[in-house]
A and B are shown apart, each in its own frame.
Chain A
Amino acid sequence: MDRRAAFNSTWLAAALIAPQLILVFIFFYWPAVQSLYWAVTLEPPFGGGNQFVGWQNFQTVFSDNLYWNSVRISILFAVCSTALTLVLSLLLATFVDRQLAGYRVYRFVYFWPYAIAAPAVGLAFRFIFAPDAGFVSSINRVFPNLWNPALDGWDAFILIVIANSWKMIAYSFIFFLAGLQAIPRTLTEAGAMDGAGVMRRLWDLQLPLLAPTFFFLLVINITESFVDSFGIVDIITGGGPARATDLMVFKIYSDGFKGLDYSIAAAQSIVLMVLVVSLTFVQFKYVEKRVHYS
């Protein structure tokens, strides 16, 4: 039985699709084409005539050590924050799925961080982890200079990883919880009857059956950490100290809007776009093959 609604009139269908198409066009295709154009031209900062330069902008970007530093940090950031997010959200989802005390409250509370805008998250973490005023200051009093993201690059890096994961855990948690609850209860009960303890059941039965969810979240988290981390970096570290948290997406912003070098920024965003698209492609092509869809 075909349950889709069929529209006889074409103009009605077009009218219904139009708002979404217009949005996608204005906010994705148009800027994408525009940056492609800027990436192959030399764009003066205050307008005026531009000049076609071909690959030159890309050559400049790739020969810049600071750019490769940014790529390295971005990859490390993606790996760390995705790993932290997936592990913690799975752990929390397992707790809630096992209906530990208070799980009804946690189910809601865990999702809230996702509803908070990235700059707001950044601001909150900036206060909480401020070396002189936040709760870390009491630790710094005992071990002076143990924590100072304004001076120590690794501290700053850890801070943006924590902030980004804190926000993303909410999203992953909901998906993991839904995935766990979609596994029939009798299956884990059968596992219990077969003598498997909680951890063994999680490892042998629940995780393999969660693989599709896990894969989906892996793709989403890696992509998000590449393209959606701007707000957190901008508010918490501003890319510093000494470019220790200069993620690719932040470097695009600072080169383009602070340095007013639109051409270089456009070239970088094209590189980032190609990177994210190819990463997703690789994940779907190779990782998905090892995932059981039961």
Chain B
Amino acid sequence: MADITISKVTKSYGKTEVIHGVDLSITHGEFVVILGPSGCGKSTLLRMIAGLEAITGGTIAIGGDVVNDREPRERGCAMVFQNYALYPHFTVAENIGYALKVAGVPKAERQRRIEEVARSVGLETYLDRKPGQLSGGQRQRVAMGRAMIREPKIFLFDEPLSNLDAKLRVQMRLEIRKLHQRLGVTSVFVTHDQVEAMTLADRIVVMNAGMIEQIGTPTEIYERPETLFVAGFIGSPPMNLVEVEIRAPGEAVAANVPLAIPVFPAMAAGTKAILGIRPEQIEIRPGGRHALHADFVEKLGAVQLVHGRFAGVDFIVQCPTSEPVAAGQELRFEINPEMLHLFDPASGARLKRDNLRQHASKAIAA
């Protein structure tokens, strides 16, 4: 079984701690995507799983065995690097077969397995070429083949698609997903691209500044962001975030615009909160209660994005292209209270129904 258990893992370079106690367990056969902005520590975490980076504190266990002090080769992981890291002086066949050569697999069997893997990544006619003679997509396939041939317990992907052009990226994404379905090998995939994360992952781990913000299925992450960071990071265009003040139970006000919010009766007047509304969940309705003055309109084909100001902040509304709206015009809309997200402005945590009361009582005490 190749499950991965990461507990209380920290990483420091000198005195600077870059990963602050990460807990994560990945079950056998799962495809987990670690998503976060650059510099959040996601690659470092992956490299600690691989054994390329020493672990400062905490433990990482693979299949129940703590691997902190084990060499990369003893961990049963294969890795696909961002820049492919192909051996430039080896042919494609030698690149793919290097792991087997190191392991001392007899030549005939090695040849057979190289051909088998090359077929499955569509490289059988390129086996004698050097990496320098291949296109970006083909190099990516060699890197995949090199990872596959060892039949590893775990696949690690370090932003493997970010050097490809947009079209190839979509294609390779699909192939990685198919590969996972076929082989069922536990996979950890690091990316900063939320579309990659949403499409590939069984579960997404959102990281920020060396900490895990949220772990959940793509749907959970999208529908119930646990923190303000996740709310702002996931979704394109990003979620509209409005700072509001509670005026009466169930009603908030931002820049003199009254907004209906989900029922949390105990929340006292005067409490502040941050309210999140996704641009695609706003209901366009002629004669609606709210108005957005459109500054400019981006047409994306099927949908259009209307940018303007609402309740004192920059605001985006997404609507079908059929909607007749142009810059300078006013767009009327309604906000469905069920589609709102509320966050504590101090901690950034999501305000759930059950902790809303605490929040309110604290506000009263203050």
Contacts and interface: CB of A to CB of B under 8 A. Distances in A.
A245 B98 CA distance: 48
B74 to A, nearest CB: 9
B52 interface: yes
15 contacts: A189-B52, A189-B81, A190-B87, A192-B71, A192-B72, A193-B52, A193-B72, A193-B79, A194-B73, A194-B102, A194-B150, A197-B73, A292-B88, A292-B89, A294-B132
Interface of B is mostly: loop
**10 A-B pairs with the lowest CB-CB distances in the bound complex, closest first:** A294-B88, A186-B85, A194-B99, A195-B73, A190-B85, A192-B72, A195-B102, A292-B89, A208-B89, A193-B79
A292 B82 CA distance: 24
Interface of A: 184, 186-187, 189-197, 200, 204-205, 208-209, 292, 294
B99 to A, nearest CB: 4
A195 B82 CA distance: 19
Contacts, number: 61
A122 B349 CA distance: 73
A145 to B, nearest CB: 50
Nearest to B73: A195
Given A194-B146, A195-B103, A189 B85 contact: yes
Interface string B48-63: 0011100000000000
A208 B103 CA distance: 20
Given A193-B79, A195-B102, A205 B72 contact: no
B78 interface: yes
B160 to A, nearest CB: 12
B83 A193 contact: no
Given A192-B73, A195-B99, A184 B78 contact: no
Given A192-B52, A193-B50, A194-B146, A200 B85 contact: no
A42 B256 CA distance: 110
Contacts of B83: 184, 186
Nearest to A192: B72
Given A189-B72, A189-B81, 9 more contacts: A184-B83, A187-B85, A190-B85, A193-B52, A194-B73, A195-B99, A195-B102, A209-B89, A292-B88
A273 B77 CA distance: 57
A193 B254 CA distance: 54
- The residue among A191, A195, A208, A209 with the most chain B CB atoms within 10 A of its own CB is A195
A135 to B, nearest CB: 39
A192 B77 CA distance: 11
Contacts of B82: 186
Contact of B81 (A190, A197, A205, A292): A190
B73 A294 contact: no
A184 B102 contact: no
A186 B77 CA distance: 15
Contacts of B102: 194-196, 200, 204
A194 B98 contact: yes
Contacts of B85: 184, 186-187, 189-190
